[in-house]
Amino acid sequence: MIGITGVTGNLGSYVADLVDKKGIASVHLARSPERAKVYASAEIRRLSYTNTPEVVEALKGIDTLLMVSARENPERVKEHKDFLDAAKLAGVEHIVYTSFYGADEKATFTLSRDHAQTEAYIKELGFTYTFLRDNFYLDFFIDMALENGEVRGPAGSGLVSAVARKDTSRVAAEILFNPKEWANQSLNLTGPENLSMKKIVELLSKETGKAIMYVDESVEEAYESRKKWPAQTWEYDAWVSTYTAIKAGEQAGVSTDIEKVLGHPASSLLDILRDRKLIEEKHD
């Protein structure tokens, strides 16, 4: 039996829909089940990332589990470990975990370190695993640029092989359909090209007709400009290190793993804009 966490979020809900369209029975797991879409093919169970008898019970009968990483918070690694302990007790065999490209405990991007620790714990507990190491989302940069008219951060001329969110969802679903084929593998999920922040805004400006700028801040300027959003120190660190990781070259590098799984190349920035009907089909 397939289990899917995070079914009320962007990635989990899309995977749930793809699994349903295949007519495959699954268990949908959510902190707030009342917010989850109802499918005839799926049972909805309440679940949080803790290790309690209720969580163990909710996970029983699941063989392969898509574990969407918990929302960002200082206790995320502990939440992951508690949940994985519960999954082990419940008899889950295969964890498909949404990790991060270049996950490393010494990574510049602070939240990447959470993923590295979680991957290590999944292996330590002896699960069969598939790690989906997606890079930053192209959708994130597009949304921010179109909303604010700029991309602002200390990325310099660094490159990022940002990936389309829907591609990561499609890959996750495909892994759930054929988990044995992808057992004990780490897949790097990137877009089809390396892009600088300057190139992203140039493409968006050209294709949408909107004047979008890239402001290459210093680290100090980046922290200061983000103070308009009340947040904790760890959040500011994560936001700023998104860009310093790109500047450091840690988010560059194109992988063909999406094509290997899906049978077609990863979506480009222009593909996403076409999907959103923001540009015409003139590039076909």
- Structural domains in the chain? 2-134+165-189+254-263 (3.40.50.720)
Q: At what angle do helices 138-148 and 197-208 cross, to 10 degrees?
A: 60
Q: Return the closest-CA partner of residue 129 out of 174, 91, 160, 98.
A: 98
Q: Return the closest-CA partner of residue 47 out of 7, 95, 98.
A: 7
**Mean pLDDT of all residues in 169-197:** 97
**Mean pLDDT of all residues in 229-257:** 97
Q: Buried (b) or exposed (e) across 180-194, using 16+ Cβ within 10 A? A: eebeeeebbbbbbeb
**Mean pLDDT of all residues in 163-179:** 96
Neighbours of 73 (CB within 10 A): 13
Q: At what angle do helices 165-177 and 10-21 cross, to 10 degrees?
A: 50
Residue 137: pLDDT over 80 = yes
| pLDDT, position 279 | 57
Q: State how far Cα 9 lies from the chain centre.
A: 11
| pLDDT, position 284 | 43
The per-residue pLDDT of the chain, averaged, comes to: 95
Residue 127: pLDDT over 60 = yes
| pLDDT, position 277 | 77
Q: Buried (b) or exposed (e) across 77-110, using 16+ Cβ within 10 A? A: bebbbbbbbbbbebebebbbbbbbbbbeeebbbb
| pLDDT, position 283 | 42
The band of 276, judged by pLDDT with boundaries at 50, 70 and 90, is: confident
Residue 7: pLDDT over 90 = yes
E strand or H helix that includes residue 23 = none
Residues with Cβ within 8 Å of 220's Cβ and at least 6 positions away in sequence, in order, are: none
**Mean pLDDT of all residues in 83-112:** 98
Residue 282: pLDDT over 50 = no
Q: HSE-up of 147 (CA within 13 Å, CB side)?
A: 7
Lowest mean pLDDT among 45-49, 81-85, 186-190, 278-282: 278-282
**Mean pLDDT of all residues in 229-254:** 97
The band of 280, judged by pLDDT with boundaries at 50, 70 and 90, is: low
**Mean pLDDT of all residues in 149-170:** 97
Question: Distance (Å, rounded) from C-alpha 175 to C-alpha 185?
Answer: 11
The band of 253, judged by pLDDT with boundaries at 50, 70 and 90, is: very high
Q: Return the closest-CA partner of residue 177 out of 257, 261, 260, 100.
A: 261
| pLDDT, position 278 | 64
* Segment 32-63, tens digit of pLDDT: 999 999 999 999 999 999 999 999 999 999 99
